């Protein structure tokens, strides 16, 4: 090898090192602004895996992906389609942030009587076990009256089940017949997409809360209430009660899952996306 060839090789190496250094700085810069994207990716993965585990027990799945009109279609196969009143479609969704996933629409509620109403059906009357999950992004904390996420029966004596955002504290609130309530420990922060889920079983009388794919708490409902005691002929409601925020991908399952299953699903999501999270 000649001296010129050696020099050329050295120059090539220096150029490569410089380019690698530049790329590394660009990657680090981009990654520093993508922590929220990485979090959303994990939660989308978690939600999808949860659906794979419990999908056979799905009795309602409102993607809220129509983009226009006043209909909210049910993708569960049960035909529990809803009518939208007041709420409007928005492109502000967790899927839109990443340009991937189920779709690019969610439903925005503006603090009035905006809601989705689903006509009563036998499939929506749940006894023994239930899981509710949804994506939610709040614009404000409820004042005096809880925000509704999901509700089957809007009065205490006729409530089959309900998932709410508690006034003032912004904690999750799962409610049964007689307004038998429990609450999550963690609060829902404003202006950020959160994945929320709660499971309840008559066998234990315990509601288990999960926020952003992580176990929040187990809370015991007093008085041994039963889901079946609140079965009613009332419509199912999504949103409403002055909800000020956005809902997306609401699902109801006639089944529960264990803490071990949830932690395993979340760990799998972390493992799959650990590179993104480590940035």
Q: What is the pLDDT of residues 245-255, one digit of tens each?
A: 999 989 999 88
The dihedral over CA atoms of 245, 262, 99, 163, expressed in degrees to the nearest 10, equals: -20
**pTM, to two decimals:** 0.76
Interval 163-185: pLDDT, tens: 999 998 999 999 999 999 999 99
Whether residue 140 contacts residue 279, with contact meaning beta carbons closer than 8 Å, is answered with no
3-state helix, strand, coil in the chain (%, to 5): 30, 35, 35
Are 21 and 50 found together in one domain?
no
Residue 19 is predicted with a pLDDT of: 34
Let me know whether 18 and 67 are in one domain.
Answer: no
Helix or strand holding residue 136 (H, E): strand 129-138
pLDDT of residue 22: 33
Residue 237 and residue 102 share a domain: yes
Give yes or no: residues 88 and 176 share one domain.
yes
CA 191 to the chain's CA centroid: 14
* Per-position b or e across 209-233, b if 16+ CB within 10 A of its CB: bbbbbeebbebebeeebbbebbbbe
In this structure, the answer to whether residues 187 and 61 fall within a common structural domain is yes
pLDDT at 78: 96
Chain Cα centroid distance, residue 15: 47
CB atoms under 10 Å from CB of 139, counted, come to 14
Q: What is the pLDDT of residue 168?
A: 85
Average pLDDT along the chain, 279 residues, taken 10 residues at a time:
46 37 37 56 57 70 94 96 98 66 81 95 94 94 92 91 95 95 97 92 93 92 87 95 94 80 52 34
Q: Which domain holds residue 24?
A: 1-32
- 110 and 238 share one domain: yes
Q: Are residues 81 and 146 in the same domain?
A: yes
Same domain flag for 129 and 9: no
Q: Specify the number of domains making up the chain.
A: 2
Same domain, 3 and 108: no
- Selection from 89, 113, 93 nearest residue 101 by Cα: 93
Measured from the Cβ of residue 178, the count of other Cβ atoms closer than 10 Å reads 15
**157/175 same-domain check:** yes
* All residues at 6 or more sequence positions from 198 whose CB lies less than 8 Å from its CB, including other chains: 131, 132, 133, 163, 172, 174, 184, 207, 208, 209, 210
Query: Domain check: are 7 and 93 in the same one?
Result: no
Give the pLDDT score at 180: 94
Q: What is the pLDDT of residue 214?
A: 86
On whether both 11 and 47 belong to a single domain, the answer is no
- The CATH number linked to 270 is 2.60.120.200
């Amino acid at each position: 090898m000649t001296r010129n060839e050696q020099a050329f090789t050295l120059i090539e190496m220096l150029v490569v090192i410089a380019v690698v250094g530049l790329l590394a700085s660009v990657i680090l810069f981009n990654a520093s602004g993508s922590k929220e994207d990485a979090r959303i990716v994990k939660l989308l993965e978690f939600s999808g895996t949860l659906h794979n585990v419990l999908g056979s027990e799905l009795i309602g799945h409102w993607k809220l992906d129509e983009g226009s009109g006043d209909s909210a279609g049910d993708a569960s196969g049960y035909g529990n389609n809803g009518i939208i009143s007041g709420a409007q479609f928005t492109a502000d969704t967790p899927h839109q942030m990443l340009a991937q996933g189920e779709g690019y629409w969610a439903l925005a509620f503006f603090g009035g009587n905006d809601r989705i109403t689903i006509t009563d059906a036998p499939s929506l009357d749940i006894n023994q076990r239930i899981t509710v999950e949804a994506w939610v992004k709040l614009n404000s904390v409820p004042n005096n009256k809880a925000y509704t996420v999901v509700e089957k029966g809007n009065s205490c004596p006729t409530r089959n089940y309900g998932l709410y955002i508690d006034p003032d504290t912004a904690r999750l609130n799962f409610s049964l017949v007689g307004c038998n309530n429990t609450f999550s420990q963690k609060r829902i922060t404003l202006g950020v997409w959160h994945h929320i889920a709660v499971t309840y079983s008559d066998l234990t009388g315990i509601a288990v809360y999960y926020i952003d794919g992580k176990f929040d708490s187990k809370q015991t409902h007093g008085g041994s209430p039963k889901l079946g005691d609140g079965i009613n002929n009332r419509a199912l409601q999504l949103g409403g009660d002055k909800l000020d925020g956005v809902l997306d991908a609401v699902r109801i399952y006639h089944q529960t899952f264990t803490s071990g299953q949830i932690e395993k699903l979340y760990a799998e999501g972390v493992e799959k996306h650990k590179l993104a999270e480590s940035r």
